[in-house]
């Protein structure tokens, strides 16, 4: 679990030496947090991984919840609210070869297998077709949550070790907003610490200057 309100308070303490800090409001900090979550979702989408029990529509074709961007796995059937028999992934070409009529088989109340194609990341298919309301447990990537200015959310399923990367990206955005001499190196340091905290190599091509939203060449 990650408490973003506590994260924002930590960033505020870190920024007390920033010359523009006294003028910043919840709107500024909310923008920094949104930018940090968007960047984390870009670099480490699994940070927004969610496990959910979902009710399926009738048939073989299904979609992940509206807040999702990509399916990771269909793990199990759900029986009386609890995970039951496992669901395994199969390849579409294999199904077409060994059971060409699989889509037209009788409907069931339980899923044996699922098919997923990364070209349609929000869609998956079940074998066999199911009756409406059949439930399965899935793992999927959720969009970074929307929130109102100053209403900092608690990210229930996000591991706490993502706190530091988020903090560094917020500080990167904050320091890069300044125009006074000596501010750029502070921004660059937090930019690099964001990637180091994730165990990632720091990109060496370009980054975006939030003052202009234009690509900014790294030194």
Q: How many helices (H) and strands (E) does the chain have?
A: 5, 12
Cβ neighbours of residue 79 closer than 8 Å, sequence gap 6 or more = none
Three-state secondary structure call for residue 56? coil
Q: 159-176: per-residue pLDDT in tens?
A: 999 999 999 999 999 888
Q: 124-158: per-residue pLDDT in tens?
A: 999 999 999 999 999 999 999 889 998 998 988 89
Can you give the pTM of this predicted structure?
A: 0.74
- The four Cα atoms 45, 37, 156, 21 give a dihedral, to 10 degrees, of 160
Three-state secondary structure call for residue 139? strand
Element (H, E) at 53: strand 49-55
């Amino acid at each position: 679990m990650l408490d973003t309100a506590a994260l924002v308070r930590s960033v505020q303490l870190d920024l007390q030496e920033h010359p523009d800090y006294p003028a910043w409001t919840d709107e500024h900090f909310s923008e920094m947090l949104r930018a940090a979550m968007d960047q984390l979702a870009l670099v480490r989408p699994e940070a927004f991984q969610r496990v959910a029990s979902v009710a399926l529509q009738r048939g073989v074709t299904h979609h992940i919840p509206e807040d999702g961007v990509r399916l990771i796995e269909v793990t199990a059937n759900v029986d009386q609210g609890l995970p039951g028999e496992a669901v395994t992934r199969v390849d579409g070409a294999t199904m077409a070869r060994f059971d060409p009529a699989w889509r037209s088989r009788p409907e069931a109340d339980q899923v044996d297998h699922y098919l997923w194609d990364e070209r349609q990341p929000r869609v998956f298919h079940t074998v066999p077709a199911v009756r409406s309301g059949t439930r399965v447990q899935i793992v999927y990537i959720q969009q970074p949550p929307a929130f109102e200015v100053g209403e900092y959310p608690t990210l229930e399923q996000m591991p706490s070790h993502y706190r530091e990367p988020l903090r560094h990206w917020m500080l990167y955005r904050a320091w890069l907003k300044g125009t006074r001499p000596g501010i750029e190196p502070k921004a660059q340091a937090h930019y690099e610490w964001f990637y180091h905290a994730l165990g990632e190599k720091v990109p060496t091509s370009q980054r975006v200057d939030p003052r202009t939203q234009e690509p900014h060449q790294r030194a």
